[in-house]
Amino acid sequence: MHPEAHAYAESILAGRHFRRAVEVGGRDVNGGVRHLFTADEYVSLDLEPGPGVDVVTDCRDWAPPQPVDLVVCCEVLEHAPDPAGVVKTCISYLAPGGLLVLSCAGPGRAPHSGHDGAPWLKPGDHYANIFPNDLEDWLAELDDVQVTYAAGPCDLYATGRKP
């Protein structure tokens, strides 16, 4: 995760405690967010095994045993062929009042590999920048939605709470 995305996650999560948390795309490629908060129960999902991954799965094929208070999905959506489906799944994990924290590549970010962060695509990689209006639409069922585009790193940051 690049420094700007990490700083965003830190601004939302630092020092907070959650009862149950799920991280979608939790494989530590170049830094993660797990150290920013505490949770009584924490599960990290990723398509590939690696550091920080508890369950290797497509998030759309998995469900938590109980609704969770936090879902974190950082730097995943641009690599997902179905980003709207990933967002919908993240929302489905949340308990009422639960918080969703997202970061992803917005307009203008150069393609990069979702496997190891290399600044080029590898065979089988999917990449598509996410547009703010699409992300806002995907988050429409949440309350207190905030979507921010950071032009320097070409990032989108978003939060929302499940009603």
- Whether 106 and 128 have beta carbons less than 8 Å apart is answered as no
What CATH superfamily is the domain 3-161? Vaccinia Virus protein VP39 (3.40.50.150)
Please say if the pLDDT value at position 70 is more than 90: yes
pLDDT for residue 143: 98
Give me the sign of the Cα torsion angle 20, 140, 12, 75. Answer: positive
Query: pLDDT band at 145, cuts 50/70/90?
Result: very high
Whole-prediction pTM: 0.95
The secondary structure of the chain in percent helix, strand, coil, rounded to multiples of 5, reads: 25, 35, 45
pLDDT for residue 74: 96
pLDDT for residue 34: 94
pLDDT for residue 116: 80
Tell how many helices (H) and how many strands (E) occur in the chain. Answer: 3, 7
Please say if the pLDDT value at position 60 is more than 90: yes
Q: pLDDT tens across 1-51, in order?
A: 889 999 999 999 999 999 999 999 999 887 789 999 999 999 999 999 999
The CA distances from residue 92 to 17, 119, 120, 152, in Å, are 21, 32, 32, 32
Segment 146-152 long-range contacts (CB within 8 Å, at least 24 positions apart): 149/106, 149/107, 150/4, 150/8, 150/106, 151/108, 152/4
The tokens describing 146, both together, are 């905030």
Segment 106-114 long-range contacts (CB within 8 Å, at least 24 positions apart): 106/130, 106/131, 106/132, 106/149, 106/150, 106/154, 106/155, 106/156, 107/131, 107/132, 107/149, 107/154, 108/151, 108/154, 109/78, 109/153, 109/154, 109/155, 114/76, 114/78, 114/79
Q: pLDDT tens across 75-131, in order?
A: 999 999 999 999 999 999 999 999 999 999 999 999 988 878 788 888 888 999 999
- Whether 112 and 127 have beta carbons less than 8 Å apart is answered as yes
